[in-house]
Amino acid sequence: MKKRLFDGFVRVVSATLPAKVADCSYNAEQIISGMRRAAGDGASVICLHELCVTGYTCGDLFLQDTLIKSARAALSHIARECADLPLIAAVGLPLVHESKLYNVAAILSGGKVLGFVPKTYIPNYVEFYEMRHFTPAPTDIQTIRFDGYDVPFGTRLLFRCESDENFTIAAEICEDLWVPSPPSSAHATAGAVIILNPSASNETVGKAQYRRALAALQSGRCACAYLYSCAGHGESTSDVVFSGHDIICENGSVLAESMPFADGWAEADIDLYALAFDRRKMNSWRSDPSGYRVVEFSCLEGASLPDLKRRVPSRPFVPDDAGERNARCEAILDMQVAGLEKRLAHTGARTALIGVSGGLDSCLALLVTERAMKRLGHPVSDISALTMPCFGTTARTKSNALALCEALGVPCAEIDITDTVRRHFGDIGVSEDSRGVVYENAQARVRTLVLMDLANKTGGLVVGTGDLSELALGWSTYNGDHMSMYGVNAGVPKTLVRHIVKYVSDTVPALRKVLEDILATPVSPELLPPSDGKIEQKTEDIIGPYELHDFFLYHAVRWGRSPSRILLLAEAAFDGAYTAREILKWMRVFFERFFAQQFKRSCLPDGPKIGSVSLSPRGDWRMPSDAAVSEWAKELEDLGERHSLTKNG
């Protein structure tokens, strides 16, 4: 079997094929055709619907010798005809073993049956009457002689690629998923990463939504990929109809599905390594392979996938759907407000102090602080906003800071720190003409000094403005804007900050004008003098686009992905927007800064966790400040060399 792993990605198919009730020969040809189509698409796994060899609605014909023998012969034919396909397939049929009839999924590969997995839970209620024909699966693993070789028969079977243990498959059948303790839960803890479910779930009003939720939830609970294939066109419609609703889920999300009564073909690339990472990360995950038998299949080096059949969002922190995005923004505001509200109440702070620059981050922090004060029943006059212009401040950002405070009814004072910074330069022997790091950082540290001392004077608390993206990149001045008494934006990446501010702009008309101008202003620390009154120092020109850095952050921290896998995903997500060379350039910046700037994250102020990625040293992220980036840098260098060779070749 040729390898179809694409740097940890495996293409899978969940399919409903045309069928004729009790016509095993016709059905076998449809199955062969479907398997060849899947292999031609580069798939490694295909899950076909329950009893697809005979059809699910055969009724008492299941007990007939003719149908039973025809099904067995059809399976032999399918295995022989598909022996050359680099594919694992789940094919459903009725099978007699020790005088009992079982509803089984035959797992095929390389021209042979690797195992027979019988159905555990046999429904016999409302429209289902399977107990009339089928026997529940035995509890032990037995052996069936098939086509001259022994085949394991039982539910506790794992089918594992001999060269990659992450590529491990198990199966359950239809009703098995709908019970309180699905067999797939045990399969997953035994080591299965891909669960196949050949099903014949009939269609009723509302059932598709429930089925989808059930499959997605089980994939999340089991940290696995879940392939659900459902019977469809061709089944008898005497009393029920079947819709061919096929679903592919991964770790709680639906990757692909064929909608009911549509084409009956769902295809996606699942990420085995990300699933393995999640299992490693969760110490509540308990592996228990006891009672299971591993059946290995060959997974030799060979052709890889030509592309990535997987939707890769370019903004992983930001929902695409407008309604979902707005709900997410409101929920985040609620979390930020709740965190700050508790801190203000606990410390007994009489005021909340915040430095407003006219930029996005301080804008969001001020919006959160205003809501928190209202929630506490305090007047907004208890907020002390400060604008502290210096060498790099532009009229645009200063006027926006003042306009936002005015619109919110928040008093805003101005303290020009230019003379203070100049005196400080004189004290430490630094020329104002020197545009180095001291020139920039001194301004940030003086601003923090002013805020902290005023907080002491007024019995207040300094609200931090720095966001998650800046923390990842270390784009802050140590003991300057890096420090506060509570960092409300610490869990919000820059791409999401922008959408939250946009959400407030859209929902609060009184703030729209000023917020729209803040959103249109280039991101800048404004520490270098402007040019012709315009911002000279643009953050994204220096360290790279935040949309790329947020993408790198999400995939590196949330999923533990390597640079090569991040590049693969980024090329798919930003196709046409950035070249591979540009992505690699800014990824180098990301990893170099992420490692070098950990010392700033190691002593962060408190702040609320917002999403699945957090860099709090007390919460999610524990990393030594002197960890070496060399292994990541080597991989990036190799990627750059390979890209150059490919491009030049």
Cβ atoms of 78 and 91 within 8 Å: the answer is: yes
**Residues 6 or more apart whose Cβ sits within 8 Å of residue 237:** none
Residue tagged active-site, from 24, 47, 119, 309: 119
- Output phi, psi for 142, to 5 deg: -120, -175
**Residues 6 or more apart whose Cβ sits within 8 Å of residue 575:** none
279's tokens: 């299992």
Start-to-end C-alpha separation, the chain: 30
Angle subtended at Cα 480 by Cα 478 and Cα 481, rounded to the nearest 5 degrees: 105
Q: Which amino acid is at 212?
A: R
**Residues 6 or more apart whose Cβ sits within 8 Å of residue 531:** none
Cβ atoms of 476 and 482 within 8 Å: the answer is: yes
- Give the CA distances from residue 194 to residues 167, 291, 436, in Å, rounded to whole numbers and listed in that order: 7, 19, 54
Residue 469, Cβ density class (10 Å: 0-12 exposed, 13-18 middle, ≥19 buried): buried
What is the DSSP track for 291-323? T-EEEEE--BS----SS--S---S-TTS-SSHH
Question: What span, in angstroms and rounded, lies between the C-alpha atoms of 68 and 7?
Answer: 42
- Residue 88, classed as helix, strand or coil, is strand
- Residue 53, classed as helix, strand or coil, is coil
What is the DSSP track for 572-617? HHTTTTS-HHHHHHHHHHHHHHHHHTHHHHTTPPP----SS----T
Chain CA centroid to CA 312, Å = 9
Q: What are the strands, taking DSSP E only, across 379-497?
A: 383-387, 412-414, 460-464, 486-487
Closest CA to 107 of 212, 224, 196: 196
Which residue in the block uniquely carries the two structure tokens 């228990």? Answer: 288
Q: Is 222 a catalytic residue?
A: no
Q: Is 50 a catalytic residue?
A: yes
Pair type for strands 9-15 and 45-48: parallel
Which residue in the block uniquely carries the two structure tokens 């269609």? Answer: 203
Q: Is 405 a catalytic residue?
A: no
Residue tagged active-site, from 58, 174, 224, 329: 174
Segment holding 170, helix H or strand E: strand 164-171
- Give the CA distances from residue 283 to residues 189, 190, 223, 277, 617, in Å, rounded to whole numbers and listed in that order: 13, 15, 13, 12, 18
297's tokens: 């299949």
Question: What span, in angstroms and rounded, lies between the C-alpha atoms of 150 and 166?
Answer: 26
Residue 303, Cβ density class (10 Å: 0-12 exposed, 13-18 middle, ≥19 buried): exposed
Pair type for strands 5-6 and 164-171: unpaired
Question: What span, in angstroms and rounded, lies between the C-alpha atoms of 93 and 118?
Answer: 10
Residue tagged active-site, from 3, 24, 47, 50: 50
Catalytic residues: 50, 119, 174
